[in-house]
Structure 1
Amino acid sequence: MAHDLTIDEKRVYADRMGAVEVLVAAEQGVVVASLSDDRVGEFSLDHRTTARDVVADGTRRAVATDEDVLVGDYSATGFGAAVAVGFDGPGGDLLAAGPDGRVARLDDGWTTVGHVDDPRAIDAGMVAAADGVWTVDDGLRNVGLADVRDVHGRGLPLAATGDGLYRLGNGWMDELDGAADVVSADDADDRAHAVSDGTLFARDAVASWTPVDLPADAPPVDVGYTDAATVAVTEGGTLLTDAGDGWRTRELGVTGVTGLAVQS
């Protein structure tokens, strides 16, 4: 019988191979792919469920599913159905949002911090929702915008909305015109990408973005970063990687993809 590696065992294996793990949330479950530079190695359906979102932070991981929020080796937490998960900054508590708009923090158990209208994404203590961007502390505080579809909450916060991409400075300032669905950034390496009007853009400088040609039939639903590469995934299950020499693709054999996370 095959031995299912624990997260710690997988990390030891990945370290030996000089690889990182990319977690992909899909309607069939969670796919885990090994990535070395921009080369995708082994990948498999690691857990069967209807996954709506996935997040990783160091050795930690969490998955939002139609039944519950799963952590670690897919242990249930008792949250119930979830549509978004995110950590409250590096090393911070896990946050989750349900389809009913409830936003809660996991400590000894789940503590509800408030409700939003139609939550879409969580990143570093910020929640993207139909009724704006919300910051999480002991409660929820609305910090503006509407029809927010994705958010990057670390460093220079960015928000993807139905009428444009915005950055948070002295209020929300224009970054990119057009309906934006996805935004991701790696502040340490000054990398950022957004999907606007069905096109992937890479940031050159503040408020300066360049379209990116992709060898895929559809735009990414999420973008992430390793030390060596930019990683993206489409709804149809195409994983794209670029370490500076052009994009490589790998079909993962799943559909209904909603997001990815890099676990290094």
Structure 2
Amino acid sequence: MGHTIDEKRVYADRTGAETVLIASERGVVVASLSADRVGEFRLDHRTAARDVAANGDRRAVATDEDVLVGRYEPTGFGPAVAVGFDGDDLLAAGPDGRVARLDDGWTTLGTVETPRAVHGGMVAAADGVWMVDQGLRNVGLGDVRDVHGRGMPLAATDDGLYRLGNGWMDERSDAFGVVSVDSAERRSASSRTQSGDAADDRAHAVGEDGTFVREAVGEWRAVETPGDPVDVAYTDRATVAVTEGGTLLADAGEGWRTRELGVGGVSALAVRG
């Protein structure tokens, strides 16, 4: 007999469990993950969720009506397609291209063409990568699908995967839609690399040729995944991914475990620290 999203799935060993947030067309799913084992999961809030972001205990959700924070409290932004944290600052992008920062209220920083992702003070859009400072500054590329804005920035575009150094440098050709990198802010002291170099951080990219893991700067290796992830994130003990059809994937070093969440139209995930 199949299980539904409203059922609670609990494993006996909850030691070291972390919380994963998933944005779907039905709403926000919250799942408990211990290493690569999915425990309890539930539909935590019903809405058409387009994106989700987390920064420590803080979370934000982009929906067709508003940007929600905390226990899904409205912020007055209006319809949103992407959210992300730049340090402690929450940024959001609307379907009309408006990008704003939440202070006492929302402060508009500028507009971009067809925003797709917000991360670490950068915005991925059809007209390139935009960097947030006092406003918005275009830093190049085009048809950008995703961006990682911290440390050594990476951008996934319709033309390839790029790394920002002295200008944008090619990492891989072909179309890419997802890029994710583990961040020093999220990592616990025990899981940090000895060098602390961003190039040593876990990183994944998903494109038309499949899923790739970074082994060194400019070196990516194809890996098999049970489905095509629409987003990838990290806990201290595992790499976590999710497919559009609602399959949660987790790999703690012994291959991917999967769990069907019972939702569709999945667009993003985030790990709540």
Give me the TM-score of the superposition, normalised by structure 2.
0.88
Match of 1:133 among 125, 129, 134: 129
Aligned-residue offset at 1:214: 1.3
1:185-210 Cα shifts (integer Å, max 9, x gaps): 01445100001214010001111111
Give the aligned CA root-mean-square deviation in angstroms.
Answer: 0.9
How many residue pairs are counted as aligned between the two chains? 245
Equivalent residues in 2 for 1:191-202 (5 A)? 191-202=202-213
1:81-112 Cα shifts (integer Å, max 9, x gaps): 000000112xx210000000000000100010
> What is the identity, as a one-letter code, of the residue corresponding to 2:116?
R
The runs of at least 4 aligned residues of structure 1 exceeding 3 Å deviation read none
Equivalent residues in 2 for 1:104-123 (5 A)? 104-123=100-119
Structure 2 CA distance, aligned partners of 1:215 and 1:121?
24
Partner of 2:149: 153
> What is the identity, as a one-letter code, of the residue corresponding to 1:156?
M
1:237-256 Cα shifts (integer Å, max 9, x gaps): 00000000110000000000
Structure 2 CA distance, aligned partners of 1:116 and 1:250?
36
Structure 1: gaps (5+ residues): 1-15
Match of 1:203 among 205, 211, 214: 214
Partner of 1:212: 223
Match of 2:159 among 146, 163, 168: 163
C-alpha distance 187-77 of structure 1, shift in aligned 2 (>3 A): closer
Structure 2 CA distance, aligned partners of 1:21 and 1:119?
27
Structure 2 CA distance, aligned partners of 1:88 and 1:141?
15
Structure 1 CA distance, aligned partners of 2:46 and 2:264?
13
Structure 1 CA distance, aligned partners of 2:72 and 2:207?
33
Partner of 2:98: 102
> What is the identity, as a one-letter code, of the residue corresponding to 1:241?
A
Please tell me whether residue 76 in structure 1 is matched to residue 74 in structure 2.
yes
> What is the identity, as a one-letter code, of the residue corresponding to 1:252?
L
The DSSP-based 3-state class of the residue aligned with 1:52 is strand
Please tell me whether residue 262 in structure 1 is matched to residue 271 in structure 2.
yes
Structure 1 CA distance, aligned partners of 2:97 and 2:158?
19
Identical columns (%): 75
Structure 2 CA distance, aligned partners of 1:41 and 1:129?
36
1:41-66 Cα shifts (integer Å, max 9, x gaps): 00000000000000000110000000
Match of 2:62 among 64, 81, 85: 64
Structure 1 CA distance, aligned partners of 2:83 and 2:202?
22
Aligned-residue offset at 1:18: 2.0
